[in-house]
Chains A and B, each alone.
Chain A
Amino acid sequence: MARYIVRRVLWGVALLVIVTAVVFILFYVLPTADPAKLRAGRTANPQLVQQIREQLHLDDPIYVQFWNYLKGVFFHFDFGESYLSQAPVKDIIFHRLPATALLVVGAVILWLAIAIPVGIISAVRRRSLMDRTTMVTSLAFISAPVFWLGLVALYLFASDVGVIPIFPGQGSYTTADSFLAKCGSMLLPWMVLAAATAAIYARYLRSSMIDTLAEDYIRTARAKGLPERQVIMKHAVRAAITPIVTLLGLDIGLLLAGNAILTESVFVIPGVGQEIVLSIRRSDLPMIQGIVLFGAFFIVIFNLIVDILYAFLDPRVRYQ
């Protein structure tokens, strides 16, 4: 088990180096605006641009820049400074992270709280009215784009523009002054972000449960005379929920990496997703680099957590 974890961690580090290299190459190979020129402003003369270029080490060969960057990240946990604001990239990301984390954590809790019971009940009561209704509804939520769903939610429920003004609306996160107020401002984003995912998870769990209920060991559990409740909740759910863990690990990693970008944009939440849009628009390489690396880090970490959890959930994995 320990060897397994060490191997996975080493793989994760290698992956992070590769991701860094890919972003570096992309940035240099693909034509983007010259960061030095951007920095110099409208009235810049060639000397100033050259001076800035030297200052940012943009005139070094790409491999030297890459090496210096790797050294900074892996030995000093230094991600460099933003070309534009000159603030450390690390600080900017850490400043942005809480909003994204709050959005993701709340949404995850909400979608699991909806998807797990719905998935189980529709599998057990297959073809019932309840099953059909929830499955059609979930299809609708999966099909609806997040930004559209977000706008509709705002028009319906936002306290400023909504038809039924019951939830804080756009931009309320920035003005919220307490943790509770921040959570309140997240209510609509949570629901919007959770809707599609809850629908996917419910359908996934339903089909996983249906497969599990057809397993021989479920028949054995019934043949033993266990109460049906125990057959479902202990024997079937335990096996059916395992694949959901994989899905969940990937999704949390992706969302923390900036995949909540649309929700953040619609509700004007100052999270990581918003920052990456700004950085790309401004050709701010250190920022893009930093955010991508952080994102990759989250994905690697959550994959690792999933692998370890899996070994605990499924005893067969432990002995391989």
Chain B
Amino acid sequence: MSATGHLLEVEDLRVHFDTDDGVVKAVDGLSFTVEPGKTLGIVGESGSGKSVANMTILGLTRAANAEITGRITFEDQDLVAADDAGLQRVRGNDIAMIFQDPLTSLHPFYKVGSQMVEAIQAHRDSSDAEARERCIELLKLVGIPDAERRFGEYPHEFSGGMRQRAMIAMALTNDPKLLIADEPTTALDVTIQAQILRLIDRLQEELGMSVIMITHDLGVIAEVADDVLVMYGGRAVEAGSLDEIFYDPQHPYTWGLLGSLTRTDRPRSADRLSQIAGQPPSLIAPPQGCHFRPRCPHAFDRCTETPGLDARSGSRSHLDRCWLGGEQKRELRVGPEGEIGLAERKEPVATPTGES
């Protein structure tokens, strides 16, 4: 833990990729913190920069064409400035990561057990027998029946849900302080999704680790998160506690996300799910000012100026990037039936610049 009490502190992170089409600003000035023992939910649509930002924590986006600036402080160590050897010591050890598709994320040619043993032996001198014992214990912990036999099987012999459990067990091999879960349930059946989320929740409590849960699904956030970060176009547009985001959302994009949630406790208003009109912004030539401006029905003159991520709602921990006044927000976010949502735009949505 750093002197500030945060387990992880990301400050003004920028990840830019130089491509043939131009510089892709995948992450453009992102700051957030992760508290010990808590779950941070990061929500946003594809291309919002949530995965890139988190892979950058482990240095997985390092490449010849990548320019990474800012600071990622983990236990007084800056992971942006760390050399490859320093990063390697952190990866899979203090910070572990699991990914979206557990089938493609496991090596098809190696047994699940040997892939787990490898993760242990990358960080500590452990005999094969000790490592094996530890792995079987973990496979049991994540709820894989007949763990001794499963240890010696290949990934393709596992079902989707079992594979993700095995991935989680592999991530836990070195008792990480932080687990980054990048859409861990997206590729799974709905029935399995809930099981995996509950498993992560339970493990977090038992092992006392912190979790970053990356998802595009606010339903997942509601299930597991303590704090929430809403990302759009490479930046955070809103950050706050779970209650603040769900009951007092400040940013029109968050309203749109909440409005597109399926609610079973209310009658369906317009016999279809609401959606946010328009396309995600170009990361090469993002809109000037607020990135959500071209899709926002409430945009006005000032939105061409970039709003800072500031506390505007009265709570010190609740930050957003929207110029609208507090009274305006409370009024505009409520639909005709009292539900939170994004109103329909009156004029057609302009095509974001830089996109063909």
Q: Which residues of A contact B (CB under 8 A)?
A: 127, 215-217, 219-228, 230, 235, 238-239, 313-316, 319
Tell me if A's interface is mostly helix, strand, loop or mixed. Answer: helix
With A217-B105, A217-B106 known as contacts, the answer to whether A224 contacts B99 (CB < 8 A) is no
A225 interface neighbour in B101, B106, B123, Cβ under 8 Å = B123
A226-B118 contact in complex given A219-B60, A219-B99, C-beta closer than 8 Å:
yes
A225 B122 Cβ-Cβ under 8 A = yes
> Which of B90-98, B128-136, B303-311 makes up part of the contact surface?
B90-98
Interface on B for A, CB 8 Å cutoff? 55, 58, 60, 64, 84, 88-93, 96-97, 99, 101, 104-109, 118-119, 122-123, 154, 156-157, 167, 170
| Total A-B Cβ pairs within 8 A | 76
In the complex, the answer to whether B105 meets A224 with C-beta atoms within 8 Å is no
Report the Cα distance A313→B122, complex, angstroms.
Answer: 24
Once A223-B97, A315-B154 are accepted as A-B contacts, the answer to whether A216 and B108 lie under 8 Å apart by CB is: no
CA distance A217 to B112 in the complex (A): 12
Decide if B108 touches A314 in the complex (CB within 8 Å): yes
Cβ contact within 8 Å between B122 and A217: no
CA distance A235 to B122 in the complex (A): 14
A215 lies within 8 A of B104 (CB) = yes
In the assembled complex, how far is the CB of residue B135 from the closest CB belonging to chain A, in whole angstroms? 13
**Closest beta carbon of chain B to A117's beta carbon, Å:** 21
A239: B residues at CB distance < 8 A: 107-109
How long is the Cα–Cα vector from A283 to B314 in the complex, in angstroms?
Answer: 99
CA distance A314 to B84 in the complex (A): 31
Contact indicator B119/A224 (Cβ below 8 Å): yes
Contacts of B92 in A (CB 8 A): 223-226
Complex interface: chain B residues within 8 A of A315 (CB): 108-109, 154, 156
Q: A217-B104, A219-B105 given as contacts; is B119 within 8 A of A225 (CB)?
A: yes
How far does the Cβ of B273 sit from chain A's closest Cβ, in whole Å? 30
Contact A220 B89 (CB under 8 A): no
A314 adjacent to B89 (CB under 8 Å): no
* A238 partner, pick from B55, B101, B109, beta carbons under 8 A: B109
Known: A235-B107, A239-B107, A315-B108. A223 touches B101 (CB 8 A): no
- Tell whether, in the assembled complex, residue A221 and residue B107 are in contact, meaning their CB atoms are under 8 Å apart: yes
Q: Are A216 and B122 interface neighbours, CB within 8 A?
A: no
What is the chain B residue whose CB lies nearest that of A219?
B60
Residues of chain B within 8 A of A215, CB atoms compared:
104
User: A97 vs B123: C-alpha distance in the bound complex, in angstroms?
Assistant: 53
Contact with A216, one of B58, B84, B99, B157 (Cβ below 8 angstroms): B99
